[in-house]
Amino acid sequence: MNPMKEVLFALSIMGAVSCTSVSQQHITSPDKQLNLSFETSQDGFLSYTLINGTDTVLAPSRLGFVLQDGDSICRDLQIEDVALSSFDEVWHRQWGENKSVRNQYNQALVSVKHVPTNRLYRVNFRLFDDGVALRYEFPDAFANDSIVIMDEVTEFKVSGNPETWWSYADFNTYEKLFMNNRLDSVSWAATPMSMRKDNGTHLFIHEAAIVKYPDMTIKNMGDGTMKCELTPWKNGVKAYVKAPFHTPWRMVVVSPDAKGLVASAMMVNLNEPSKLAQSEWIKPMTYMGIWWEMHLGSKQWKEGKMQAATTEEAKRYIDFAAANDIPGVVIEGWNTGWDKWGEEDAFDYITSAKGYDLREVAAYAKEKGVWLIMHHETGADIHGYEALVDSAFALCQELGIHAVKTGYAGGVSTGENHHGQQMVEHYQHIVEKAAQYNIMLDVHEPSKGSGLERTWPNLMTREGVRGMEWEAWSVGNSPSHTTTIPYTRGLAGPTDYTPGIIDVLLLGKKEQRTQWNDQLKDISQTRVHSTLCHQLALLVTIYSPLQMASDLPENYQGHPAFQFIKDYNADCDESVVVNGEIGQYITIARRAGDNWFVGATTNEQKRTIDVAFDFLSDGEYIATIYKDAADADWVSNPTAFEITQEKITKASKLTLPMAAGGGFAITIKPAIQ
């Protein structure tokens, strides 16, 4: 295969032609399995239809916009011309679930005219073997001034009434539990939203390459129609854009099974290639840090007698990381301002808290060969952060710090929504600014993941999920929550869930814990809702190139299960989804160099699964298996586990049990190294 080829294969219909001759067209996927048609109706509505073999996935679904000037450019439309092309490449990236990615699609670039105003815009359809994507493109001539979008009417009219996994739409947080019911019971959903049809076909709706545009939610309009609802400005406007401009891609992935959803590369393929000329400073890694004790309530972020971040404590973490081959350490609460929470300009991102010497800690980490990860909690005071970000990043650069974890907890200081256009532009500004200073980012309270890590590979990971912290101070996350994430939130890209808790019953700091938020009246009875082996497996099943081992050093020290975390390499080269069903279980294998790491988790139901190792290369391997003990159970006996070893080859198959809420983790190394 040529590394890149783009072939125009339908020149005959490219020119301006009459509406009658091109009022309906179709393209097929490269493998001929999917068929996409698009047409205008008698009253000028433009719609598209997606068929998988003989099965209708999307019935005719309308497209277009409503603008502030009163024009509804979703009706009275006429197709002016259609340009068809084909594209096929294999590209390579510095990091990712798979470092080599094939990008193959057939494209239809449809020019449409709004007849009453003679305005022209385009709808760009790309049809892959595993789904369809579309975006709107506004040329220079569309408008001289800003385009004010009041509504985007993109529809996804899903045929049948599939089983659906979704979370409620919220313009300010993605930290939600997932619902599981039929599509007709879905009200208003965030994306990704995943579905399984009665014939076994799986699909999910999402978007890609969100830049200068708000995050999309989807609202149930009845009859299977999910309509785009953009996160608005507080004045009700959805977006302000200026031509030339294109929207993010709206995408629907289609697969014969659940694992195909997880394996899809469509989202990253819809993003532009990397804009970074140099990126040798980017390094996937596992890390730990001063964080979990604050969520437990045994320490605090702010200065005082319960202060977590001190020079002495930071050095203890660094020593532990260095001794156990954990590459990175994050220190939260290192700076002043936590006692001014909610105030403007509370943080300056420069001044160390009393008892913490940033320069001393940075020098100590460098001496020990540990990457220090800075923490910038903004409290969503975006103007305050933007005013100081250059000085903050310059300090990181001076100290040799190449990673920053940002946070945006609380309401946005401007009164706008977290997922609206203003915040999307802010997050992008910080990503690009970080790249100027050779800084990787881990973004908490983010906008939606949409594959931008291809274009900006310093955007390593983001939260945007109801993660481990909720286990410390709320009713927690059920085992089915973490078996649903890979098929939902995980489809939006790297996910900083912060797994790896060994002390799942939270006994270690039980006497020191204090109430610090209002989620529960009494946090003394909280616990992690899984077995210990389930926690190990999450490092593999919930992908993040910056993967946190989030428990306390004293809980890891001397524990046999900690060996898996020490061995795990977050810089994987390829990934294989071995098996799984949405919300029930999943098994994923990831290769890093010559070694493989396998993780499997199950929901509240215990089960036994077969694992074939046909993803291995030739030769013999030693598999070290961390699995639930025979009497393990996430409720009654969550810490019972055992470690076994097996000699395996690519022809091997192992039958492995998982306790209720359990799992297993496997390290696979060549027998001869």
Q: Are 373 and 492 in the same domain?
A: no
The enclosing domain of 419 has a CATH number of 3.20.20.70
The enclosing domain of 10 has a CATH number of 2.70.98.10
pLDDT of residue 418: 98
The token duo for 53 is 């073999």
Are the beta carbons of 128 and 255 closer than 8 angstroms? no
Query: Cα separation of 586 and 88, whole Å?
Result: 30
How far is the CA of 75 from the CAs of 71, 79, 112, 166, 564, in angstroms? 9, 12, 11, 31, 58
Q: Are 67 and 210 in the same domain?
A: yes
Q: Are 413 and 494 in the same domain?
A: no
- Residue tagged active-site, from 416, 445, 463, 469: 469
The token duo for 522 is 């009494």
Domain end point (choices 460, 493, 513): 460
The token duo for 433 is 């600014």
List the alpha helices (DSSP H) in 158-223. none
Helix (H) or strand (E) holding 389: helix 382-399
Q: Are 139 and 191 in the same domain?
A: yes
Are the beta carbons of 47 and 61 closer than 8 angstroms? yes
The token duo for 605 is 């139901």
Domain end point (choices 431, 460, 489): 460
pLDDT of residue 230: 99
Beta strands in 322-470 (DSSP E): 328-331, 371-377, 403-407, 440-443, 459-462
C-alpha triplet 252, 181, 186: angle, nearest 5°:
65
How far is the CA of 582 from the CAs of 20, 531, 534, 543, 585, in angstroms? 45, 19, 16, 16, 7
pLDDT of residue 335: 98
Are the beta carbons of 442 and 496 closer than 8 angstroms? yes
Task: Please state, rounded to an integer, the average pLDDT across all residues of the chain.
Answer: 95
Q: Are 493 and 509 in the same domain?
A: yes
Which conformational region is residue 293 in: left (phi greater than 0), alpha (psi within -120 to 50 degrees), or beta?
alpha
Q: Which domain holds residue 31?
A: 4-269
Query: Cα separation of 313 and 360, whole Å?
Result: 12
Strands 155-158 and 328-331 come out as unpaired
How far is the CA of 300 from the CAs of 164, 292, 356, 512, in angstroms? 40, 10, 14, 12
Strands 328-331 and 285-290 come out as parallel
Q: Are 590 and 673 in the same domain?
A: yes
**What is the number of domains present in the chain?**
3
Q: Are 553 and 602 in the same domain?
A: yes
Measured from the Cβ of residue 272, the count of other Cβ atoms closer than 10 Å reads 12
Q: Are 438 and 496 in the same domain?
A: no
Phi, psi of 494 (to 5 degrees): -50, 135
Tell me the residue type at 451.
G
Q: Are 164 and 298 in the same domain?
A: no
pLDDT of residue 43: 87
Active site annotation includes 377: no
In this structure, what DSSP letter does residue 495 have? B
Measured from the Cβ of residue 525, the count of other Cβ atoms closer than 10 Å reads 8
Q: Are 199 and 232 in the same domain?
A: yes
Burial class (CB in 10 A: 0-12, 13-18, 19+), 535: buried
Identify whether 192 is preceded by a cis peptide bond (ω within 30 of 0).
Answer: yes
Q: What parts of the chain have a pLDDT lower than 50? A: 1-21
Domain end point (choices 253, 269, 285): 269
How far is the CA of 503 from the CAs of 294, 326, 408, 634, in angstroms? 15, 19, 28, 12
Q: Are 611 and 510 in the same domain?
A: yes
Q: Are 439 and 500 in the same domain?
A: no
Query: Cα separation of 556 and 416, whole Å?
Result: 42
